[in-house]
């Protein structure tokens, strides 16, 4: 009987655990919040394009600054807009989608994103976003501005 129990136990525990997840997600979804995006910026950083689109449809502002939990970008960047956070998805498709959704129309925003893409070594994103007549970026300045928001928040 020991052999039967040793054989049965791991799989039975897994089945109970999976059913626990199913029930838990219904009655206490906050238990599973660690990697669930709480806002558009977290969704964009995680590369969750569908969630970004859903939140845009719901009317969330792509330029609004959100609190981003460290597991989505890093402890150094905890305040970002959806467009800035999208850089960490490292997917050019995300920016094509956002462009087509009409949220990249502002030249100033676009230029700041080009500089951020260059700072993060995302040449394809930078190339896609850049306009011919845009001024050159100062290296690391866009990224430093983003870092500064988190460090300002952390200052007493």
Partner 1 sequence: MTAQLAAWTYGAAVAAALGYFLLGIPVQLTETFGNMLKLDATWRELLVAEFTQQAYLRPLLFAQLKLVYDASGGEYFAWFRGVHVVQAGLLVALYVHLVQPRTWRDAATLPIGLSVLVGMHTFTGTVREAFPINTFLTIVLCCFAAAALVLARYRWWNDVMAVLLVVVATLTVETGLLAAVIIVCGVMVGARGVSRVGAVLTVVVVAAYVVLRLYAFDIGSPGLTERASGYGLRILDTSELVERFGENPWPFYAYNVVTSVLSVLLSEPRSGVFRLIASLMEEPRPALIVNVIASIAATMAIAWYVWNRRRAWMTWQLDRDDRLLLLFIAVLLANAVISYPYTKDAIMSPAGAFYALAVFVAFRRLVHADVARPVAAGLMATWCLVAGTAWAIRSTGTHLDLRQAGFEVRNEWAYADQWFERNRSPVEGPRATTLLRVLRDDAIVRHPGKAELPATRSPLMEIGN
Distance of closest approach, residue 105 Cβ to partner 1, in angstroms: 18
The verdict on 63 binding partner 1 (CB under 8 A) reads no
The verdict on 52 binding partner 1 (CB under 8 A) reads yes
Contact window for partner 1 (CB under 8 A) among 75-83, 96-104, 115-123, 133-141 = 96-104
- The full 3-state SS of 35-67, as one line of letters, equals CCCCCHHHHHHCCCHHHHHHHHHCCCCCCCEEE
Contact window for partner 1 (CB under 8 A) among 50-58, 107-115, 124-132, 140-148 = 50-58
Applying CB under 8 A, among 48, 78, 81, 150 the residue interacting with partner 1 is 48
In whole angstroms, what is the distance from residue 99 CA to residue 96 CA? 5
Contact window for partner 1 (CB under 8 A) among 48-56, 107-115, 127-135, 146-154 = 48-56
The verdict on 2 binding partner 1 (CB under 8 A) reads yes
């Amino acid at each position: 009987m020991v052999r039967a129990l040793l054989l049965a136990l791991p799989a039975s525990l897994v089945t109970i655990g999976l059913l626990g997840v199913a029930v838990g997600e219904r009655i206490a979804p906050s238990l599973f919040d660690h990697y669930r995006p709480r806002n558009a910026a977290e969704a964009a950083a995680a590369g969750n394009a569908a969630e970004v689109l859903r939140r845009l449809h719901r009317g969330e502002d792509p330029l609004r600054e959100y609190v981003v939990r460290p597991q989505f970008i890093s402890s150094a960047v905890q305040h970002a807009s959806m467009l800035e956070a999208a850089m960490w998805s490292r997917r050019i498709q995300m920016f094509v989608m956002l462009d087509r959704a009409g949220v990249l129309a502002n030249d100033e925003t676009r230029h700041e994103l080009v500089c951020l893409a260059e700072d993060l070594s995302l040449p394809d994103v930078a190339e896609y976003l850049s306009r011919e007549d845009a001024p050159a970026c100062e290296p690391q300045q866009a990224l430093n501005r983003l870092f500064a928001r988190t460090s300002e928040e952390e200052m007493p």
